[in-house]
Amino acid sequence: MIGEGLTIRGLRVSFDGYTAVDGVDLDVHPGDLRFLIGPNGAGKTTLVDAVTGLVKATGSVRFGTDEGDGTELIGKPVHKIARLGIGRTFQTATVFEELTVLQNLDIAAGAGRGPLTMLRRRKGVPDAVAKALETTGLTELRDRPAGVLAHGQKQWLEIGMLLVQDVRLLLLDEPVAGMSHEEREATGELLQRVSEDSRRTVVVIEHDMDFMRAFARSVTVLHAGKVLSEGTVAEVQADPKVQEVYLGRARDEESTAPAAAGPPGEKPTPTPTASAQEA
């Protein structure tokens, strides 16, 4: 079904001879909430980087909407890819710290504005921005500089920025890393709400297996730059290849993972990035 959702064929990314993504095929359809999991170094973030034009890649990445056939993304500059309705977040929330929440969202909403609009002062709150404020629950904080927001709120703001962009493909890189339990719940619900719109395709990179099991509609497991397994949460958990990868890893890390014998979802996730971000 080329032309609907994200279609990746034979994607390959290498850095100085090291192949980070090694021939990945992937299809994600609108309305899906796809989780991309895999051990560190599996190529998850690089895959997203390649889709959004941040790193050079070979192969084919197409993204189609209901309005038209998929356009080839490989070779396009970052901002042009973004204008096709593809948005992403980063492991570390990057919002414009010196601007207010409202200003952040307004900028996200305005990529297509003409020069005259740009040179004028913003009047009131655009509808899309008001709606995103509501969806993300940030209405109260809209005049706060984004730099003083709590970690979870920044992630929500980032997602809000993707919403006002009217993004059709959301690529979220570890959105709940470093969040408290309540924040995770709230984020998960937010993601479900967002992906209920059948025009949207959501891809989430995640380490947190509890979070994945609670909210994923489908899962792809990457390992060493290749797709290892794909299916529903239950299917993937039952896949012996997946178990082996995670068991193999767990054996090396016995000290940190005493419950290694269980299925991957029960494995405690040692994520250094997450702990670093809590500061």
Nearer to another protein, 146 or 216 (CB): 146
Nearer to another protein, 107 or 247 (CB): 107
Task: Tell me which long-range contacts 260-265 makes (C-beta under 8 A, separation of at least 24).
Answer: 263/237, 264/37, 264/209, 264/237, 265/209, 265/210, 265/212, 265/213, 265/233, 265/237
Nearer to another protein, 66 or 97 (CB): 97
Nearest-approach distance from CB 111 to another protein, in angstroms: 3
Nearer to another protein, 106 or 239 (CB): 106
Nearest-approach distance from CB 184 to another protein, in angstroms: 13
Nearer to another protein, 111 or 261 (CB): 111
Nearest-approach distance from CB 240 to another protein, in angstroms: 32
DSSP per position, the chain: -TTSEEEEEEEEEEETTEEEEEEEEEEE-TT-EEEEE-STTSSHHHHHHHHTTSS--EEEEEEEETTEEEEE-TT--HHHHHHTTEEE--SS----TTSBHHHHHHHHHTTT--HHHHHSPP-S--HHHHHHHHHHT-GGGTTSBGGGS-HHHHHHHHHHHHHHTT-SEEEEESTTTT--HHHHHHHHHHHHHHHHSTT-EEEEE---HHHHHHH-SEEEEEETTEEEEEE-HHHHHH-HHHHHHHHHHHHHTTTT-TTTTS-GGGS----HHHHHHH-
Nearer to another protein, 38 or 264 (CB): 38
Nearest-approach distance from CB 18 to another protein, in angstroms: 10
Distance CA 160, CA 164 (A): 6
Nearest-approach distance from CB 103 to another protein, in angstroms: 5
Nearest-approach distance from CB 98 to another protein, in angstroms: 6
Q: Which pair of structure tokens corresponds to residue 64?
A: 């189609």
Nearest-approach distance from CB 264 to another protein, in angstroms: 26
Nearer to another protein, 146 or 221 (CB): 146
Nearer to another protein, 234 or 276 (CB): 276
Nearest-approach distance from CB 4 to another protein, in angstroms: 22
Site residues, another protein (CB under 8 A) = 15-16, 46, 49, 52, 54-55, 77-79, 82-83, 87-88, 90-92, 94-100, 103-104, 106-108, 110-113, 117-123, 141, 143, 145, 147-153, 161, 165, 180, 276
